Each structure stands twice: as structure tokens, then as C-alpha cells.
Amino acid sequence: MTSVPHRPPAAARAVDLRKVYGSGQSEVHALAGVTVDLDAGKFTAIMGPSGSGKSTLMHCLAALDTPTSGTIEVDGTGLAGLNDKALTALRRDRIGFVFQAFNLIPTLTAKENILLPLDLAGAKVDQDWFDTVVDAVGLRDRLGHRPSEMSGGQQQRVACARALASKPSIVFADEPTGNLDSTSGAEVLSFLRRSVDEFGQTVVMVTHDAVAASYCDRVIFLADGQVVDEITDPDREQILEHMTALQTRAAG
């Protein structure tokens, strides 16, 4: 891979990642030796059927879970041997999160939710950056609202803004449109796309939705805990073809 000259540096990297649940007879290999580089400044999708290990991979890369073996680097920092405190700081300062649901603290307003990681870090708010992000998600008139006063799409956009507010090295999104209707989903995805194109952000998204994946620069396919395929600059049809192929293989 190093022979490819124009490849940008990796924002996150996993080498021979293995994750085993249980032991003996009931041993399950959620990850069976995954090696992957997630390029900086790109929008990458991780796809695969249920149980393929895509969520486990993301959780390991995002310092939410620890692998059984293998190494992970995020923004040049190896995660091995880091204690809970260091991992917490890493998540807070260098990683942004967008979950499928329940992304926001119900007692805080949109603005407070967006600034929460910065508050936790005790960092100063970069007002220009905050304005840029808020305008990009189109939520300026909603900043004083609490989550219960916003639609699901608006809530997810707030979550996106929060993920970007601390200028993380990498944003992980776990099925961010899974609970949204297609219009709201498109808004969220366009925003993630723009954050890559206009702000040079790195975004990694786990999804099983071909439409969502079609917003990405690169799609990595996982099956049975291994990387089995990948395509760059995909369109929806290509993705569906690859998915079908995967499922056929799994069935066979």
C-alpha cells in the first residue's frame, strides 16, 4: 500500500485487528484479522451484513471497545496500553461521534449539546468555527431549543455539529440516518459530505443503506470479521451489486 504515492496519510489505522467473544465451543470471532487504513480528508463507509463485524470495527477504532489483539492508531497515537482516562481524553479531543439515536443530552439546549465536548475539555470555543458549523447544519434559529422540541432530523444535525465542534481528527458515525426519513437523512448525509469537501474533515460511517454509502468516497465491505471488498467513488448501483455479491457468497 505504501507504494501508492498520492495516497493521503491515514487518520486512523487498524492492523490485524481481532476481537473474540466467548471461549471454547461458543467462541465468536467478531473481527478475524482486519487491517485497514482510513484516509484523512475522506468520507469512508463501512458496510456489511449483520454480524459482519462492522460495528465492532468502528467501536474499536473509536476507542469505545478494546480488541483482543492487533493494533489501532488514531491520529498517529497507538491505543494499546492507554488507560481509561487517556482514552476518554482521546475520544473527547480527537474523535467525534454521531450515533443512530439518542445522541443528545435531553436537559441541554442544542447549543449546549454542541459545545459539551469543548466544555468537558475546558477548551475555548472558536466562535468562527462554531458559526461555520452551525450555519452549515442550518440550525441557527434552533440553538436555544431542547432535543424534545426538535425533529429527529434536526436532532441528528445537532449531533453532527457537536461531532465537528471540537475539530476532531476523525468523525465516526454509526448508522446516523437509520432512524430518519429519506429527506432528513439526505440533509444529514449532505452535511457530512460537505464537512469533508469544505472543511477537510475525515468521516467514517457504518451503514447498511446503499443510498447513504453512495455519498462516500470509499466503501469497505466486511464479512465474517474480515475485509472482503472495497470500491472507491461508488454509485448506488455499484454498491448494491457488491452487497448482493456478498450476500450470495455468504449464502453459498
Partner 1 sequence: MFRLTLRNLLARKLRLVMSGLSIVLGVAFLSGVLVFSNGLSTTFDGIIYGSTPDGVVRAKDFAEFDAGYSGTPKNVVTPETIAELEELPEVDRADGDVAGFGMSLLASDGTLVGGTGAPTLAFNYHDGPNMDGGDILELDSGRWPESDQEIVLDTGAAENGEYELGDEVQLLAPYGEIEQTATLVGTAEFNGGGTAGATLLIFSTEGAQRLFLDGKDVFNRVSLTAAEGVSQEELRDAAAEVIPEDLEAVTGDKVADESEAAIGEFLGIIKIFLIVFAAIAVLVGGFIILNTFSILVAQRSRELALMRALGAARDQVTRSVLLEALVLSFLASTIGIGLGLLLSRGLASIFRAIGLDISSAALDLTVGTVVISYVVGVAVTMVAAYLPSRRAGRVAPVAAMRAEAPQAPAPLGRRAAIGGALLLVGAALVAWGVAGAPGPDAIWVGIGGVVWIITVAVISPIIGKPVLVGCRALFSRVFGAPGRLAGENALRDARRTGATASALMIGLALVSTIGVLAASMNKSIDDLVDEEFTADYLVQSVNFVPFSTSVGDDLADVNGVSVLSRQQYVGAKIDGETEFVAANDERFNDIYDLDVVEGTTDVQGAEAFVADEYADELGVGIGDPIELTFPGGKKLELEIVGIVKPSEVTAWVSFPLDQVEQAGLARQDTSISILLEDGADAETVKNDLDDAASDVPIVAVYDKEEFSDSIRDQVNQLLYMIYGLLALAIIIAVFGIVNTLGLSVIERTREVGLLRAIGMSRSRLRRMITLESVAIALLGAVLGLGLGLVVGVSLRETLKEDLSSLALPFTQLVVFLAIAVVVGVLAAVVPSIRASRMNVLEAIAEE
Residues that bind partner 1 (CB under 8 A): 59, 64-65, 84-85, 88-89, 91-93, 97, 99, 102-108, 112, 116-117, 119-122, 162
SS3 at position 6: coil
Q: Are strands 218-223 and 226-232 parallel, antiparallel or unpaired?
A: antiparallel
Helices (H), the chain: 54-61, 84-94, 110-121, 127-137, 152-165, 182-199, 210-213, 236-251
Angle of CA points 57, 9, 12, to nearest 5°:
20
Q: How far is the CB of 161 from partner 1 (least distance, A)?
A: 13
Q: Which is nearer to partner 1, 14 or 58 (CB)?
A: 58
Q: Which is nearer to partner 1, 80 or 121 (CB)?
A: 121
Phi, then psi, of 71 in degrees rounded to 5 = -120, 150
Q: Which is nearer to partner 1, 91 or 218 (CB)?
A: 91
SS3 at position 158: helix
Q: How far is the CB of 93 from partner 1 (least distance, A)?
A: 7
Q: How far is the CB of 203 from partner 1 (least distance, A)?
A: 16
Q: Which is nearer to partner 1, 6 or 85 (CB)?
A: 85
Q: How far is the CB of 6 from partner 1 (least distance, A)?
A: 34
Q: How far is the CB of 134 from partner 1 (least distance, A)?
A: 18
Q: How many CB atoms lie within 10 A of CB 215?
A: 22
Q: Which is nearer to partner 1, 32 or 123 (CB)?
A: 123
Compute the 3-state secondary structure of the chain and give helix, strand, coil in percent, each to the nearest 5. 40, 25, 35
d(CA 85, CA 91): 10
Q: Which is nearer to partner 1, 95 or 212 (CB)?
A: 95
Residue of 155, 31, 162 lying closest to 91 (CA atoms): 162
Q: How far is the CB of 228 from partner 1 (least distance, A)?
A: 24
